[in-house]
Amino acid sequence: MDAFDRFWQWANKPLESHLTIPAELYRAVMELAPEDRRDRATVNEAAARTLDPRKD
């Protein structure tokens, strides 16, 4: 499962769910423009830069 899938699985979870994602992933996605959050490649690139800064 890639970062895009992890974020959207978390974002669409039921209210009673205890599913979590790393704060770094949340921050990377939320820093994107709303329309960019729906683009798999953009989300995965942002997550990769945040989770592994050596990839810059």
Q: What is the pLDDT of residues 21-36, one digit of tens each?
A: 999 999 999 999 999 9
Full-model pTM: 0.85
How many secondary structure helices (H) and strands (E) does the chain include? 3, 0
Range of the domain at 35: 3-55
How many domains are there within the chain?
A: 1
Mean pLDDT of the chain: 93
Q: Does 10 score more than 80 pLDDT? A: yes
**What is the rounded distance in angstroms from the CA atom of residue 3 to the CA atom of residue 5?**
5
**What is the rounded distance in angstroms from the CA atom of residue 17 to the CA atom of residue 33?**
26
Higher pLDDT, 18 or 54: 18
